[in-house]
Amino acid sequence: MLIVLLISSVAVFYAIRLSGGDATAAALPGSATEEFREEFRARIGLDKPIYLQYFAYMGKILKGDPGHSITNNASLVEMLKEHGKNSLVLGGAAFALVFLIGVPLGVLASLRRNSWADHGIMSFSIAGMAIPNFWLALLAIWLFASTFRILPAAGCCSGKQLILPAIVLAFEGIALTVRMTRSAMIENQNNDFVRTLRAGGLSEWRVMGKHVLRNAMIPIISLAGLRIGQIVGYALIVEQIFSWPGIGQALVTAVLRRDYPVAQFFSLVLVVLVVLGNWLADTGYTLANPRLRRSR
Amino acid sequence: MKEEIQDNLIQIHDLRISIYSEGSYFDVVKGLSLSVCSNEILCLVGESGCGKSITALSVMGLLPTDVAQVTNGEILFRGQDLLKLSASDMRRLRSDEISMIFQDPITSLDPVFTIGSLLTEIIRVHRNVGSSEAENMAVDALEAAQLPNARQRLKSYPHELSGGMRQRVMIALATALNPAVLIADEPTTALDVTVQAQILERLRERQREQKMGMLLITHDLAVVAEVADRVAVMYAGEIVEEASVQTLFDKPQHPYTQGLLGAIPDITARRGSLHAIPGRVPPPQVPPPGCEFAPRCVHALEECWESRPLLEGSGEGKLRCFNPQPLIT
Ligand SMILES: Nc1ncnc2c1ncn2[C@@H]1O[C@H](COP(=O)(O)OP(=O)(O)OP(=O)(O)O)[C@@H](O)[C@H]1O
Ligand SMILES: [Mg+2]
């Protein structure tokens, strides 16, 4: 995992540096002289070879001092705290929705297989996977904010303002979780142990709701980490559309303004989150499945 | 009178089970009748596919209802028709009064719960006891099934146990509540030969201790010879012969039974699996008009091809054959 983190941090660093654009153009007024620009580059270390810049940069980050924005001189640590908190609220809400909505719908579909409820849920799930995120966001705004005027279209950070972006952000995850839950439930309903439990006199509710569901949750829990990665990725778009001042929005703004310290630092944060999610996926699989835990 | 009640724990009358498969219905159990008394082991033998497991599952009320359905007959438990019970009444009987042990102990236990939590869950569904009381009952049941270190094993997951140990857990699950009837569907087939004998021995002891009526489904004549009190021979969805184990081995009358036993006079030499009989079981989709066994029977008469023989005889022995053969020794 550390190696993955190292490689991805290098990749992010290079990508931002190579993406072109003159940092001084963003930070200094157009009237600044060429000498002044050179001096500015030297001051922030842009004149050195890129690998030295990388080491210097990582050194600073590990010391807990990622630097400042070059457009408004805000401390990156402060920015991370503020935007991070907002993103955490939105991402956390979306993550919770993925499971709170996805799992029960999937269970329902599996228990009422081939009924209208099942067909309805599955069509909804296919739609959820097919509709692009930004389009869904615009649709939601148009429907709930413009037409019915029951929810605010944008802004932060009241509960009402949270609803639309959280649902949009969670939508694809919900759709995937519904499908996975349904197929895992159906697969496990055919297991021999189900017959044993019924022979033991347990109610269908217990057999399905406790034993089959618990077995079906193994792949779902283990892939929960991947859902984190997905949410992090989509947060870029969704935060932008709903003007939710999170990390994603800060990152997009920074890239547009060529504020490379902000862009670099926040990209790194997102990459770490995604890698962490994948690592959690592995851990989750072991946690969810006793057969993989070390036996005493 | 008491004798009478005891004698008939399970009575199956004229049971018919239909299977729906590949777009058509056909009977796999065709008017089967048998009874299991308390404190006896009835062995049900017959070739693969003749409907033994389906019959057992129908007693438990656990037929896969999307493919199999009881279309006729009754299954009486202490005089009460199980087929007429509500789902929740039937559930109350399961494992409390009628238990079942399945063939494959590897896949028959829920892998994500400890055996302790499985046992206590089933105990507490039926008995109003606290968790520590249930745990004690679980330990007792495991000890009765002779699982070593029973109390420590409560915290084990199924995958941490060997096949033999898991089948002991299954025995504990099935006998924890002192059921009156125990159905065991090939309980040792999936196990090592060395373990088979131990498990079987333990099952028999358990049956005697609790005076259970036991229906044991098996392919293994050695098992039959060792544990059975009575034997019912099943062919193509019906019982063709039923007798005490001694009578059946000494004087088998139905040509099919004789074929199974390989017509070897010496009972001790008849160990091992069922003797192969030439020919195949007729496909259940197209039942012959006469005796189901006629196409494979060397003694078949004209009437065997035209009409079906009935299962006739007393409680001592029953036979479904127009032309029974005395065994030539
Ligand atoms: N789920 C099912 N779907 C379709 N047909 C089935 C199903 N279960 C059983 N059958 C059919 O019912 C018949 C009886 O099956 P059953 O399992 O009772 O046989 P058995 O006597 O237990 O055989 P074995 O000795 O191999 O266990 C077989 O012909 C089988 O093909
Ligand atoms: Mg079987």
Query: Domain extents for chain A?
Result: 2-62, 77-295
Give the pLDDT of residue B35: 92
Choose one of B50, B217, B240 to mutate for the ligand 1 pocket test, by most ligand atoms within 8 angstroms of C-beta: B50
Q: Which of B15, B16, B17, B19 to mutate to test the pocket of ligand 1 (most atoms within 8 A of CB)?
A: B19
Nearest ligand 1 atom to the CA of B234 is 21
Which pLDDT score, from 0 to 100, does residue B276 have? 67
CA distance A40 to A42: 5
For residue A199, which residues of chain B lie inside 8 Å, CB to CB?
60, 62, 94-95, 99-100, 102, 174
Enter the pTM of the model. 0.82
Instruction: Tell me the range of A12-16, B230-234, B305-309 where mean pLDDT is highest.
Output: B230-234
pLDDT of residue B267: 47
CA distance A284 to chain B (A): 14
Cα B240 to ligand 1 centroid, rounded to whole Å: 18
Closest atom, ligand 1, to C-alpha of B284: 29
Please check whether residue A66 is in contact with residue A76, taking contact to mean a CB–CB distance below 8 angstroms.
yes
Say if the Cβ atoms of B99 and A295 lie within 8 Å.
Answer: no
List the CATH code of the domain at A77-295.
1.10.3720.10
What are the CA-CA distances from residue A73 to residues A179, B27, B32, B51 (Å)?
47, 83, 89, 82
Please give the residue of chain B at the shortest CA–CA distance from A287. B112
Chains A & B: contacts with CB separation below 8 Å = 78
Q: Which residues contact A139 (CB under 8 A, 6 or more apart)?
A: A131
Q: Which pLDDT score is estimated for B321?
A: 86
* CA B309/CA B240 separation, integer angstroms: 9
Q: Give the β-pairing of B181-185 and B10-21.
A: unpaired
- Which pLDDT score, from 0 to 100, does residue A92 have? 92
Indicate the pairing of strand B230-235 with strand B40-45.
Answer: parallel
Closest CA to B99 of B219, B201, B215: B215
Q: Ligand 1 centroid vs B70 CA: distance in angstroms? A: 14
Q: Which residues of B touch A290 (CB under 8 A)?
A: 111-112, 157, 159
Tell me if B21 CB under 6 Å of ligand 1: yes
The pLDDT value recorded for residue B270 is 47
Q: What share of chain B has pLDDT > 90, as a percent?
A: 58
- B/e letters for A7-37, b = 16+ CB within 10 Å, e = fewer, are ebbeebbeebbeeeeebbeebeeeeeeeeeb
* Burial group, residue A63, by CB count within 10 angstroms (0-12, 13-18, 19+): exposed
Atom of ligand 1 nearest to the CA of B55: 18
pLDDT for residue A21: 60
Average pLDDT of B285-305? Answer: 83
Is residue B263 pLDDT above 60, yes or no?
Answer: no
Rounded Cα distance, B85 and B75, in Å:
11
Among all bound ligands, the one having the nearest atom to the CA of B237 is 1
What is the atom index within ligand 1 of the atom nearest the CA of B57? 18
On the question of pLDDT at B215 being above 90, the answer is: yes
B109 to A195: CB separation less than 8 angstroms, yes or no: no
Task: Report CA(B186)–ligand 1 centroid distance (Å).
Answer: 14
pLDDT of B234 higher than 60: yes
CA B154 – CA B146 distance, rounded (Å): 14
Distance between first and last Cα of chain B: 42
Taking CA atoms, what residue in B is nearest to A199?
B94
B125 → closest Cβ in A193, A202, A295: A202
d(CA B166, CA B107): 10
**B169 falls in which pLDDT band (50, 70, 90)?**
very high
Ligand nearest to the CA of B21: 1
What amino acid occupies position B220?
D
Walk along chain A (296 residues) and give the pLDDT tens digit of each residue.
778 777 877 777 777 776 656 666 666 777 777 777 777 777 766 777 777 777 777 787 777 777 777 777 778 788 888 888 889 899 999 999 999 999 999 999 999 988 999 999 999 999 988 888 888 888 888 888 888 878 887 777 777 888 889 999 999 999 999 999 999 999 999 999 999 999 999 999 999 999 999 999 988 888 888 888 888 888 888 988 888 888 888 888 888 887 777 888 888 888 888 888 888 877 777 777 887 775 44
**What is the predicted pLDDT for the residue at B118?**
95
Q: Which tens digit of pLDDT belongs to each residue from B45-103?
A: 998 889 999 999 999 999 998 899 999 999 999 999 999 999 999 999 999 999 999 98
Residue A8: how many CA atoms within 13 Å on its side-chain side? Answer: 16
